[in-house]
Each structure stands twice: as structure tokens, then as C-alpha cells.
Structure 1
Amino acid sequence: MNTDNGADTESPSPHIADTHELIRVYGARENNLKDISIEIPKRRLTVFTGVSGSGKSSLVFSTIAAESQRLINETYSTFVQGFMPTTARPEVDVLEGLTSAIVVDQQRMGADPRSTVGTATDANAMLRILFSRLGQPHIGPPSAYAFNVPSVRASGAITVERGAKKAVKATFTRTGGMCTRCEGRGTVSDIDLTQLYDDSKSLAEGAFTIPGWKSDSFFTVRVYADSGLLDPHKPIREFTEREMHDFLYREPTKVKVEGVNLTFEGLIPKVHKSFLSKDKEAMQPHIRAFVERAVTFTTCPECDGTRLSEAARSSKIDGISIADACSMQISDLAEWVRKVAEPSVAPLLTTLRQTLDSFVEIGLGYLSLDRPSGTLSGGEAQRVKMIRHLGSSLTDVTYVFDEPTIGLHPHDIQRMNDLLLRLRNKGNTVLVVEHKPEVIAIADHVVDLGPGAGTAGGSVCYEGTVEGLRAAGTVTGRHVDDRAALKETVRKPTGTLEIRGATANNLRDVDVDIPLGVLVAVTGVAGSGKSSLMHGSLVKDPKAAEAGVVAIDQSPIRGSRRSNPATYTGLLDPIRKAFAKANGVKPGLFSANSEGACPTCNGTGVIYTDLAMMAGTAATCEDCEGKRFQPAVLELRLGGRDISEVLAMPVTEAEAFFSVSGEARTPAAHKILQRLADVGLGYLTLGQPLTTLSGGERQRLKLATHMAEKGGVYILDEPTTGLHLADVEQLLALLDRLVDSGKTVIVIEHHQAVMAHADWIVDLGPGAGHDGGRVVFEGTPTDLVAARSTLTGEHLAAYVGA
């Protein structure tokens, strides 16, 4: 049948058709990207490679994923958008062919004490439903098993009138499973009063020893001294019983100090609100040190750390309470759930089994559901976030991963590869930022950025297949097949650091001698007990302090937009002093957070305009032109440069600037800059906001800072995190320099190049969780390869071609 009605029947243009097969990026300029344009095939696995700081995250996360999520947010009503975070459009000319992006990054989960692995996934919610249906005795709805829900609440209210007075009566019913003693936290705190004040002094004499409590502060010291409730001239140890109660525990009471209305509150609740209600990791170092001195946390004696009420703990299925279930290793819990046979909840049991099996499949079977989410490493947190996506029926979405193999033993990387390929095979686009050659090898498409880092990066060096990458001659192409060789000779120990009877977490009464004066690699599958042995046992051992142990873990760097490498490392202090001395002024003028700040932008360099439910805009401050300082400050110079020009210098340029003779010569600054260059951060500018640094850059910044500490033993937790293959050699050279200078370096590592380069290996296992916790090998890398008695030995042998 002829259906031609005279209309133009020409097929769609190839350009339009291609948007269904490609994600097109034109003119991307976010961060250090240099106006790049690329085409990414959809429904394929694309790996983005390049040295740390080359622009991978800027392209994948800050451009592609950010624009996808911004466009999705714009589909909601303006009312709904008003409750959502607003993000500005990335610096890019055109983005075509985008699909919904699901970002699975390494950002650690919140440190809220009530957040656990179970609450961060659907597993805890499903268990609560299961126990509310099958648990005996039956105690109520699912919330009765929830430690995040208070155990009593008002269920109704009746107003009773008596003359002019009205009284409200409420009835209360048990609804939640929260332990009333610890309020669902599992721990209770005890405050050491000797750390808060010196009781031999009076308030007027400055008895308080709390950081930041200055004698002239109305809201802290003055409210106690001038409240009229206490004698400010009497030593605290001579307070009457009533004065002591008011001083420590009084309920909030309105008082007047020099005509100003203030609230007087007992010191204990005041300290709780001021310090204990905040994330300890977000505190400044001296405040965190104070909290660690003043407060001890112990397991709640009422719930035994389970966070649950007695009623919730009394309800059981086949002798197992929900507290027992949550404390099980997840691989064991999955087996227990399989044995629960009840047709009435069959769909729930099926879904719960699938979720728990996903934990095991992704290499997290050693965790328990009651594990606080804030204690997970970045890699563990990323894999927990993956759980909800593995069973998803969604197709044709874009999954974005940030180095998903971080924290994984070579034995587990193949499982991660299988998961990435499974997501692709379901018809999804998978974008992965990765350095590991094992992951690069499975890519359908590779985008290599560089050629260098920072201002030397931001360009596309190669696009195409993995085979093409090997022949491309880029930094990644030249190093993708690199394999480190075993050392022919190893260093001789100068002594030993003994660990005896280590039982932290899953360790099984471990005895091990750590050799001193050499490079030691602590290896084993994820969850085998490596961090427990080092951070949970060695660091906490009194002998560690004598040996000068300095531990550098994976906890993130906290910083605002104003924080940068100069402020974080303490580099800004000698720089400001040098500027002040050269110009005869105060050092404070050279701080963009203090006196020298541009008054228009308050030292941020940008003017931010809030457009309510629409994305806000950030424009460069016209008065200071983004330099952050007052014009008068910018006229003051050191070695011919103003302070903004110095902060715009890369580390390597600044190192040369502060080492020359003349007024710019600043040995204190030069030492810090030398350490930054040593850890491979020579390309960073001194004033670059910490919020723009990649995970690998932040880890190395911490390492550079800790190198200034006086310690004989360094413990590094996966220092290769975020490092390009070409940069691993530089890291190994740095570790060698530390050891050759008389230090002992202990690295917890999965990277085979580090294992091969070590003088001594301590391998834990043989498995994870309760299948690990034992030392399965001690000796040289050569002996480990020869024995091939452990998973690590097998993979190291394959890596070195033995």
C-alpha cells in the first residue's frame, strides 16, 4: 500500500541518529579541561585514564554526571527544586545524548553514630519487617525493632479545661526499639572533669582549660563567672554542693550579664552540645585532641552496644534476635536467612537473600549490618553504595564509578570486573575512572587524558581501544603493561617491633614481629585484618609511642572552599611572615580569611548570587579580579611578586622561588614545598581549593604533611590510592628515601608493584572476616612467590611472571 502523502520522507540526519548511540561533549572547560570535545559510545564500558590531576574527574563527574543530574532536577516543579541542592551548569558548550546518571563515588558515608551498613542499605528495613511478622514474642510493628525510633511517643491528646486553666493529657505507646540509655548510639560517654577545668583555681583566675574558652567571652566563661549563681572568686574545689550542681548540671536558665540576656547552662550539657554532638573528624586538630582527652566512650551497659531496647532484643526467630542477626558476618547471615522457611513472607525473604548475596558477591561478606557506616573505608563505602544498583531492573542509564577497585585485593578485582560488565550487558553505559591495568583491559573504549597534571593536563591524548592505547605512546600507553621485578637484595632489619596477642576486630590472638629499618608490606584480601593489626593493635600499643609510630590512614581531609595546600600544610604561615618582614607590616594582612581580604567578596574571589530554586551563579569579583585580597595588599611585594601571584604558583615554581638568595629566600617554606614535590604534587598551585583535589591528591597531601612529624615508624594505608601507573615508581622512590634516612615504613597495600619492592611481607588471611585474622605468611617477597601458599603469593607470582 502506498502511504506517500507528499511529505518529506528523508531519514533523520546521521547527527540526530548518533545522539542515540553517543554521548557528545563539545568544548568542556571545567577546572583544568582545555576546551576538549569527545564522543563516548553508549551501552559500552568506557575507562578514563591519565595521571592524577589530568582532568578525569573534571570530565566524568564535574561535567557529564553533573549536567545529567542538573537536567533531571530541572524536570521537577520549582516548588520541589526549592528543597533540592542547586548546582550551576558545568563549563561546557554542548552536551548531547545524556541519559540519567547514577554516581557511585568514594565519598565516605556520614559519621552519624546511628548510621550503619544495615541502615545505609535496605537490609535493616527488611529485617525489621521480617521480625515484626515472625518474631516471638510479637512486640509490634517494624519500628519496634528500629534503634533510630524512640521507644515511646504521644499517641493522642485530650484538652481538659478547669476554669481559666487548660491542661493537656497525652497517652503514650511503645513504638520504637531505641535503647533509652544510649539513645540508639550503642555507646555512652563519660567526661573527665579534670580536662575541663583546674579546680584549684577560681573562675576569675581562669579555671577553664577548654580550647577556645577565652576569659572575656560572654557566651562561655563570662556567663559562668558573672551569672550571680556562682562565686567567681572561690576555687572550684571549695564550691558548695548546690554550687557544684549548678556549675555542672543546672538546666538552662536565663541570666543577665552586664545588661545582656544570656542562658546559663550546666557545664556537662554545655560540653555535650558544643563538642559531642558534632562530627569529631570535622573538628580542628587541637579541638579533636581535646575531645579525645576529655571524653571516653564505653559500650552501653543497658543494651550491650546493640542500640536496641530490651523488648526488641527479646523477640526472636529460631532463637536469633534482630540484634544477633545484625551482628553476624553478612555471609553467615545470608546462610541463616536461607534456613528461614515461611511462605507468608516468601517475597521478602527472596529480596533479603538477594541483597545479602550481593554483599558477598561484591567482596563485603565480612562486614556486619551493625558496622557503623562512618568506619568504612572509601572503597568499602563505594561498594556498599553499589548494592542497591546490582539488582536494579533499570536499563539505558549511565553508571559512573570512581576507581571501584580501591581497597580490593588482586583476587577480588576480577569479581569487580564481572559486576561492571554485568551492568553494561543489561544495556547501560558504564563510565569508570581507573588506574588498574586489570580494569583498563576489559574496556570497550578508553579515553586517556593528560599529558600531565594540573595546567599541564586537561587534553585528550587518546580515544579508542585498549590495543590502540598500548601503541599510542601516551604516558598511560607506555606504562599499562609495566610489571615491577622482585628485588635481588633486601635490607637487613635493625630491630623488631613486637605485636603480641592482637585481638582487635577479627584478629585471632596474633603474634607477629615487625622488622624495623626496612620497607614492610602488610597484605591480604579486603577484610583479612590488615588495618586491625596496624591501626587497631600496633598504633594503640604503648610501645608504639616509644618507637615514634606515625599512622596515616584513609580518613578524608576536611576543608572549605577557602582551604588550600598552603593553609593545610602550614605553608602560608612562613609565607605571610616573609611578606610582612619585607614590607614592615603585620602578617595578618596576607590572609584572605583575615585583615587583608577583599571586602567585596570577603576573600573568596567570587560573588555568589542565590537564585532561590534556580541554580545559583558564581561570578569573579570585579573589585579584586578573583585575587581575594585588597588592592593595598596587592601592592606589597616579596621578590617582585604579590601574595596572589605567589598563591597562584605551582609547587615546583614556588620551591625555586623560596630557595633563591635575597628577600624571597624562606627556608621554612622551602622545606614544606620540597615535601609536596616529593609526593608528586609539584603541579598543584598553592592556592588551589582543597575541594577541587582528587582523592589521590588529598591522600598525598596528608602524607607530605605527616612527613614533617618526628617519627621513626610510618604506617601508610594504601598510598597508591589514586596514583597513575607512572607515578607508582615515584612513590616507591619516596618510600626508599624514607627508609634509607633511617625510618621504618609499613604500607598496607594491594598493589603488586609495592609488594614486589618491599623488603618484608606480612600476609594476613586466608580469607576475610572470621575466615581471616591470622598471619599466613611472614618473609621476603621472593619467598612468598616461591611458596605460592596464599592468595597474595599466587597473584604476586603471576604479576612478576614467576
Structure 2
Amino acid sequence: MSTATTTDTRTPASHVADSHDVIRVHGARENNLSDVSVELPKRRLTVFTGVSGSGKSSLVFGTIAAESQRLINETYSAFVQGFMPTMARPDVDVLEGLTTAIIVDQERMGADPRSTVGTATDANAMLRILFSRLGKPHIGSPQAFSFNVASISGAGAVTVERGGQKVKERRSFSITGGMCPRCEGRGSVNDIDLTQVYDESKSLNEGAITIPGYTMDGWYGRIFRGCGFFDPDKPIRKFTKRQLHDLLYKEPTKIKVDGINLTYEGLIPRIQKSMLSKDVDSLQSHIRAFVERAVTFTTCPDCDGTRLSEEARSSKIKGVNIADACAMQISDLADWVRGLDEPSVAPLLGKLQHTLDSFVEIGLGYLSLDRSSGTLSGGEAQRTKMIRHLGSSLTDVTYVFDEPTTGMHPHDIQRMNNLLLRLRDKGNTVLVVEHEPETIAIADHVVDLGPLAGTEGGEVVFEGTVEGLRASGTLTGRHLDDRARLKPSVRTPSGALEVRGASAHNLRHVDVDIPLGVLVVVTGVAGSGKSSLLHGSVAGREGVVAVDQTPIRGSRRSNPATYTGLLDPIRKAFAKANNVKPALFSANSEGACPNCNGAGVVYTDLAMMAGVATTCEECEGRRFQASVLEYKLGGRDISEVLAMSVAEAEEFFAEGAARTPAAHKILRRLADVGLGYLRLGQPLTTLSGGERQRLKLAIHMAEEGGVYVLDEPTTGLHLADVEQLLGLLDHLVDSGKSVIVIEHHQAVMAHADWIIDVGPGAGHDGGRIVFEGTPADLVADRSTLTGEHLAAYVEG
């Protein structure tokens, strides 16, 4: 039952005494929370459970952690706050007993091409200091080993005082950085296909430039027509060498057009600055398509991908330069640092050793410091963020974790549990959102939210001990001790997909035949080579649909209807029924409320204070003009349809006046992946990680392909939802598809027709096939870590 209905009978005096030992939340209403009230014990480990979408993240991250961070930000001066992101106060009546919150979530680390595992932690900085002190030959300060600092020299005037008078002197200066001058510290160079940049048979005014956004009726057209470097009416193939050079490569040059001072720059350097300096995956889809079509990235020949200058690579410690050190597997690097005995830098060596050992302890010893941070999975990113907190001396801090066991093999979960308990035992409050039974089991206190998801969730259905949860009868309590059984019989393959000589990353020239027409599960510890095998050797083949873990992107205007393409057939159905334009039924186009521009809320900027969002008085949050809402389909206006859940909309568009087969098909797929409770117009920013993963899966199910590759589809799934996922996988296989799943969840392993286990360990200790066969054979064999844990699971 919800503690929101419990009467507080304590006296005011006892209330004050207890407030130091609990975090009190009363009347929380963020997202789908319905006046939730809880009291969380401090300096204890509290686990929040419940189905995906039940309100766990809204309570822990959106309410408790968000308010803690907002209050800390308010302690800074107004000037400093002006440079910080503004945060609105969560919708909650009372929040007491908060301490400093440190959020360790699954948000991907910055995908900037210059960001690596080493730069994202303190490891690279410490290595640079180490090489600047011990490296031979000595080449300079730590920045001489940084691939983010260029070497520059020049001269300038400085004012000095001499004989009581100020005089100007010209002095030279130089900065020695470690950046490779050829690739500018990126490790790769690009080659641009000019046929994808312009059509030489056309003039500029005829639309010769084919780069997205470079139209002649916009700002660029004004610059090209007024620069005077070439004739915009002449076909590009008739340009002189000089004119073509100016179009493509001219350095930034000041020009004046229509009395306005502007800067002209050639197309190639402009493309490199605006598009190629960013992570490709972060670009808008049409720009990303252009980059993938027009640009070829290759390893820099000057630095061999190390990003460092020749001088930086020339300085060595015991025959190892800093590029070699960063390329080592971290577990090996830790051993190398352990072998350095130099009293002059003993404190630095001790700190570096602790950081590297923390990587190993947390199960990431298989990474290397030069690994791009944007390539880490959500689970790897979260554990990397944990590194800096493991040696912290801070106590009475609230640590907030979002499913910290994501991406972990059962063998590694106990290691994560020990780290969580260590943080608690140092006197900290640890709050964990989690589905994994092994982690729920170590909780001092459990808060179970539900009973279901979306509008049917948002309540505290149980609060107490793990044993109390087992006996509570809630959905989580009933499924906490679930154990899968091995299937009595497995399907017969219809063929095989051959992989020969796979050697991506740590794979050791792997040969394997992956059965087709059945459910194949690829297992192994994190870093063993599972993803390298499938994404490197299978995903790119014709007829293969791969659903990886890259996060979906979307603003607060994006929602399931826009993201899945569902809104298009809905708009067309409304337009046809009312004989008007489809654009009227888009809150991002002609139908938008003019007062809030279709956002539904009006944002008031209060400068250095948190901005305030208030419901638009004009449309009352419906996002559309009043005239648009007069048009109906099946008796409902567009705002009412977007307020429907997937399940309601599926029924609505199935028959009658609103029958829309194209919309119904998409809704059916959303329901199949367990998202029937989502509202069509719900902002993507309010979806949990598990919901976003399944939203991607629903979209990919529409693609034509005979083979599906899924990367940990149980991520963010409640115990009760795993069964529904298994039903979906069975449905795909029974409909003639081949399904290959990378997975750690033992219930999925037990349900497989065939298991391929990669290992035996991670990094250079993995990369081999250690088992191929049925789940029953793996359990009987017990020759691998996966086999041991699966046997314990099905027999437990």
C-alpha cells in the first residue's frame, strides 16, 4: 500500500529528532507520480523496484536527486549560477533531510572525438605528469603529452616597467603541445568526395551545392552571390582553378555584402568545422546521411591513430611511450605502473595505481585508456563514472545509481554489490534503481512502485525489507524468486550464417557457424567479444536488422507518435476526414498554438534563477490552435488522440470511422514490445532507458530482414516483463525470422535454442568461442562461467 495514505502520528519533537536520519518525501507528483510519500533511511542501501515506467526514476532522479542538485546550485553566487544549467523545483510538497547527491547514471559519456576513457577520468592527466617527470628524452611539461594541445609559436608586444616608465617590448613565445599536426589530435583524417559536395554541371544559382542547408535563397546564398570571387550563374565545371579553389578551400576572408560585414570561407573548411568536428552519431539524420555518403575516415598515417605528435611519442619510460601506455589493456597498464619504483613521484604513482586498480575491481580492466568514450555502453559508462568515487573520503553523501548491473554478466554482479555496500559502509546513503534480484537481495530497505506502468503506476505499493517484499504479493514480490526452466525441446536450424576469421577488437580470428531459423543467444562476460563478433561480422550483412544500444535522441517536442512515424498516418486520416491539410494536425507546424508555439507550456526565463514552466493559458496545454481542435476523427480531436495510451489508440484505429490500418500496424508493434501503457504524446525525455530501447525495437520490427540482432533487449526490463519479451522473440522466430541476442539474463539463455559462449575472460583473456550448443548441454557441461551460473539459476 502507498505510504501516502499513512497517518503520521509522531509528536513534533520526535519528528525533528528523526529528521536527521531519514530523507522525507511528501506529495511527489513528477511525471506519473501520484502524491507519493516515503521516508528513506540515511546511511543505508535503498533499492527502488517496479516495472519499467512505474515511476522509479521520477522519484529517485526527477525528485530527490534533482532537488538536491538544485539546492546546491543555489549556494553559489548569482554570477556563477548564470553559467550553470537552470533547474526547476520538482513538483513535490515536502523534501526534508536531503544531503549532497552524486548521480551515477547510464547517460552515455560525451561522444566528442577528443574524449577517451583516459581523458574522462583522471588517468590521462596523471600519465602526462608522469611522462613529463620521468620520460627520456625530457620534452617539456605535461601539456607536451596532450593530444588536445597544439604546438604553436609566435611573437607579440608586452608592456613592461623600466626605470619607472612603462615601455612596450616585442617578445617571442612558444607552446609545446602533444597534438599530431596532421589529424589535429583526432587520430583519423578524412577524405571528402567532391561529387557529393556539388554538381559541376549546374551554377550556384541553379542549386549546384548539395550540402544540407546550403541553399541559395538563404544566408549562404547571400554570401556566395555577393563575395565576388566567382560568377554564381556560371556552371562550376567552367570555373578557373582559382575560382574553384576559392569556392572549396579559401581561408576565412572578410567581405562586405549589401553594407554588412561578413566572413567568407571555403566549403571544405566550413564542412570540417560544422560537421566533421562532431561525433557523427550526434548529427541530425539528414546531415549524418550526407557525412556518411561524402566522407571517408581513415587512420592518420602520421601518428598511426595515436593522436600524438612524433615528439610526444619519442619520450619513453622503460621503453614505453605514452601512446603505448594508453593502448595497453588497463589491467596490464596497472601491472606496468606497479613495476615503476621512483620515490620522487611516489604520491603520483600511488594515485594512478589506485585509479587503474579501480577499473579492474569494477570489471573494466579490459578497456584501454585510448578507447573513445562515446563507444562505451551505458553500463560501461556508468561504471567508469564510479571510478572517481571509489577512493573518495566524503561521507554522508547520497549516491544515486541507475541499474548499475546493466551489461554485467552474472559472474560480475557480486563484485558490483560489494562496491555498493562499501559506499554504504563508509557512512553514505545509497539509492539504487534496479531490476536484478541479486542486487535487490542486498538492500536494507526496498521501495516498490506500481502497481503497473504509466497512468496505472506512480504509487508506492510496498516499502520495507526484502523479506517483506517477497511476502507482499506485489508484481515484484511475486517474481523475485522466478527461476526459468530449460525448454524440453529446441528448434531445428534451417541453415547457418558463416563467420570466418573475425578479428575485430579482441577477437582471435574466430570461426563460427550461427544457426538460422532459431533463437540464438550469445553470452560471455563484459568485454569478452560478444558485440565485436555480432556488430563487426554480422550486423552489416544484407537482410540483417541490428538493434544496438545507442540512445535515441529527441527533444521535449519529440514523442512516441513522432519518433515512430505514427503521427503521419494519423495526420493524414484527420486531414482526409475533414478535407483540410495534414500540416494542421502537427503541433510543430501550422496547427501549433501561437502563444506557446506548440509546446503546451510557456517558459519564463528568470536569468540566474531557475526558469518557470507554466501551462499555456491559450491552449490549456493541448498544444494546438482552438480551430484545429474543432476537427474530429471518430469523435476525437487530435489532442485527445495524442493523450491516448498505445493500447487505447490500438483499439481506436482498428475499426469504425477512425479505422487507419497504417497507424494500427505501428501501434500493434508498440504493444508487442510491452509499451501499451505509453501515451502517444508523452515527451521522449520522460521515457526510461528500457522504454527507449523497446521503442527502437518496435521501429526495427518494421524493417525487411530475415535476421534480427538484438543487443541486451532485457535492459531496463522488470522481472515480470522478461516473459513478455521471450514471447516476442518466439513470435519473431515462429514467423520465419532468425533471432540472435546478446544477453546476460539467465531466463533468456534458458529459453534459447542455441548458445554461443564467448570468453573465457575479458579483453585479451577473451575473444574465443568457448562453447557452442544447447542450453541443456551448457548446464551439463559447466565448463564456462556462463555454464556455472546458468546451472545455478535453473536449479535454484
Q: TM-score when scaled to structure 1?
A: 0.95
Q: In 2, Cα distance between the equivalents of 1:116 and 1:742? A: 42
CA drift at 1:196: 1.7
| 1:109 partner amino acid | M
2:51: which partner in 1?
Answer: 51
Query: Paired residue for 1:763?
Result: 757
Kept in 1: contact 2:56–2:449 (CA 8 A) = yes
Structure 2 residue aligned with 1:738: 732
Amino acid in the other structure paired with 2:777: D
1:498 Cα offset (Å): 1.0
Letter in 1 for 2:689: G
**Equivalent position of 1:129 in the other structure:** 129
Q: How far is the alpha carbon of 1:260 from its aligned partner?
A: 7.3
Identity, in percent, stands at 79
1:721 positional shift: 0.4
Code of the aligned partner of 1:365: G
Worse overlay, 260-269 or 463-472: 260-269
Change in 2 beyond 3 A, CA 1:336/1:155? farther
Deviates more, 1:19-28 or 1:427-436: 19-28
Q: Distance in 2 between matches of 1:118 and 1:532?
A: 21
1:190 to partner: Cα distance? 1.1
Mapped contact 1:219–1:262 kept (Cα < 8 A):
no
Give the equivalent residue in structure 1 for 2:4. Answer: none
Aligned ranges 1:111-190 → 2 under 5 Å: 111-153=111-153, 157-158=157-158, 171-190=172-191
Find the counterpart in structure 1 of residue 631 from structure 2. Answer: 636
Answer yes or no: is the 8 Å Cα contact 1:226–1:232 preserved in 2: no
AA aligned to 1:747 is V
Deviation at 1:12, TM superposition (A): 8.8
Q: Distance in 2 between matches of 1:428 and 1:116?
A: 30
2:282 counterpart residue number = 282
**Can you list the C-alpha shifts for 1:636-686, whole angstroms capped at 9, x where unaligned?**
111111111111100000111111122x11111111111111100000000
Matching residue within 726, 740, 752 for 2:720:
726
Q: What does residue 582 of structure 2 align with?
A: 587
The answer to whether the Cα contact below 8 Å between 1:151 and 1:309 also exists between their aligned partners in 2 is no
Q: CA deviation at 1:496?
A: 1.2
1:699 partnered with 2:693: yes
What is the aligned counterpart of 1:622 among 609, 617, 620? Answer: 617
- Indicate the residue corresponding to 2:198 in structure 1: 197
> Of the candidates 649, 652, 657, which is equivalent to residue 654 of structure 1?
649
Aligned length: 780
- Per-residue CA distance 1:742-775 (angstroms, 9 max, x = gap): 1111111101111111111111011000111111
CA-CA distance at 1:565 after TM superposition = 0.4
The answer to whether the 8 Å contact 1:490/1:759 transfers is yes
Q: Single out whichever of 219-228 and 438-447 deviates more from structure 2.
A: 219-228
Offset of residue 601 of structure 1: 0.7
Kindly indicate whether residue 29 of structure 2 is the aligned counterpart of residue 35 of structure 1.
no
Q: Is the 8 A contact 2:615 2:621 kept in 1?
A: yes
> Offset of 1:237 from its aligned partner?
3.2
Q: Secondary structure of 2:681's partner?
A: coil
Deviation at 1:225, TM superposition (A): 5.9
Instruction: Note if contact 1:326-1:369 (Cα within 8 Å) is conserved in structure 2.
Output: yes
Structure 1 Cα separation of the partners of residues 519 and 224 of structure 2:
54
2 CA distance for matches of 1:278 and 1:114?
9
1:549 corresponds, among 516, 530, 544, to: 544
What does residue 601 of structure 2 align with? 606
Instruction: Identify the residue that residue 79 of structure 2 maps to in structure 1.
Output: 79
Whole-Å separation in 2 of the counterparts to 1:761 and 1:86? 49
Q: Specify the alignment match of 2:3 in structure 1.
A: none
Counterpart-to-counterpart distance in 2, 1:168 and 1:702? 63
Please give the alpha-carbon distance, in whole angstroms, between the structure 1 residues aligned to 2:567 and 2:262: 38
Q: Is residue 157–residue 168 contact of structure 2 (8 Å, CA) maintained in 1? A: no
How far is the alpha carbon of 1:387 from its aligned partner?
0.2
Structural mapping, 1:397-436, within 5 Å: 397-436=397-436
Could you tell me which of 689, 699, 704 is aligned with 1:710? 704
Letter of the structure 1 residue corresponding to residue 351 of structure 2: T
Change (3 A) 1:257 1:549: farther
Which whole-Å CA distance do the structure 1 matches of 2:611 and 2:205 have between them? Answer: 49
Q: Deviations over 1:209-261 (max 9, x none)?
A: 333444x4333456446654334454433432222212211223456778877
2:672 pairs with 1:678: yes
Q: Distance in 2 between matches of 1:217 and 1:366?
A: 53
Q: Is the 2:132–2:141 contact (alpha carbons within 8 Å) kept by the matching residues of 1?
A: yes
Aligned equivalents of 2:502 and 2:653: distance in 1? 47
What does the per-residue CA deviation read over 1:138-181, in whole Å, with 9 as the maximum and x for residues that have no partner?
11111111111122255763589xxxxx9995523233211111
Hey, what's the Cα distance between the residues in 2 that align with 1:206 and 1:241? 20
State the distance in 1 between where 2:124 and 2:260 align.
Answer: 49
Asked if 2 retains the 8 angstrom alpha-carbon contact of 1:46 and 1:446, the reply is yes
- SS of 2:609's partner is coil
Matched AA of 1:773: G
Equivalent position amino acid for 1:626 in 2: G
Query: SS of the counterpart of 1:404?
Result: coil
1:5 corresponds in structure 2 to none
Q: Determine helix, strand or coil for the equivalent of 1:610.
A: strand
Please give the residue correspondences for 1:338-357 in structure 2 after superposition, counting only pairs within 5 Å.
Answer: 338-357=338-357
Contact 1:600 1:621 in 2 (8 A): yes
In structure 2, C-alpha distance between the alignment counterparts of 1:304 and 1:436, rounded to whole Å: 42
- Give the match's secondary structure for 2:610: coil
- Whole-Å separation in 2 of the counterparts to 1:229 and 1:579: 51
Taking the aligned partners of 2:464 and 2:776, their CA distance within structure 1 comes to: 38
Contact 2:155 2:170 in 1 (8 A): no
The CA distance in 1 between the partners of 2:426 and 2:505, in whole Å, is 38
Match in the other structure for 1:747: 741
* Corresponding letter in the other structure for 2:491: R
> Could you tell me whether the CA contact under 8 Å between 2:112 and 2:278 is conserved in 1?
no
Please name the residue that 1:330 is paired with.
330
Between the aligned partners of 2:128 and 2:256, the Cα distance in structure 1 is 50
Shift, 1:277, TM fit: 2.9
**Residues of 2 paired with 1:500 and 1:494: CA distance?**
20
In structure 1, distance between residues paired with 2:105 and 2:310: 38
| One-letter amino acid of the counterpart of residue 210, structure 1 | I
Q: 2:627 is paired with a residue of what secondary structure?
A: helix
* Counterpart residue identity of residue 181, structure 1: R
Contact 1:598-1:628 at 8 Å conserved across structures: yes
Moved over 6 A (4+): 256-261
Q: CA contact under 8 A between 2:48 and 2:446: conserved in structure 1? A: yes
CA distance in 1, matches of 2:83, 2:233: 52
Amino acid at match of 2:346: A
The aligned residue for residue 379 of structure 1 is 379
Question: d(CA) in 2 for partners of 1:630 and 1:208?
Answer: 38
Q: Kindly state the Cα deviation for residue 398 of structure 1 after the two structures are TM-superposed.
A: 0.7
Letter in 1 for 2:727: A
Aligned equivalents of 2:718, 2:171: Cα separation in 1: 64
Q: Say if 1:264 and 1:493 are closer, same or farther in 2 by CA, change over 3 A.
A: same
Q: Distance in 2 between matches of 1:527 and 1:706?
A: 26
The amino acid that maps onto 1:175 is: T
User: Secondary structure, in 3 states, of the residue corresponding to 2:656?
Assistant: coil
- Considering only aligned residues, what root-mean-square deviation do their CA atoms show, in Å? 1.9
Q: Deviations over 1:468-501 (max 9, x none)?
A: 1111000000001111111111111111111111
The structural deviation recorded for 1:319 is 0.6
| Counterparts of 1:403 and 1:384, CA distance in 2 | 14
Unaligned runs of at least 5 residues, structure 2: 1-10, 161-166
Provide the residue aligned with 1:772 in structure 2. Answer: 766
Instruction: Return the alpha-carbon distance in structure 1 between the equivalents of residues 229 and 155 of structure 2.
Output: 40
Q: Secondary structure at the match of 1:60?
A: helix
Question: 1:383-394 maps to which residues of 2 (within 5 A)?
Answer: 383-394=383-394
Judge conservation of contact 2:47–2:446 (CA < 8 Å) in 1. Answer: yes
Output the CA distance in 1 between the equivalents of 2:450 and 2:597.
Answer: 34
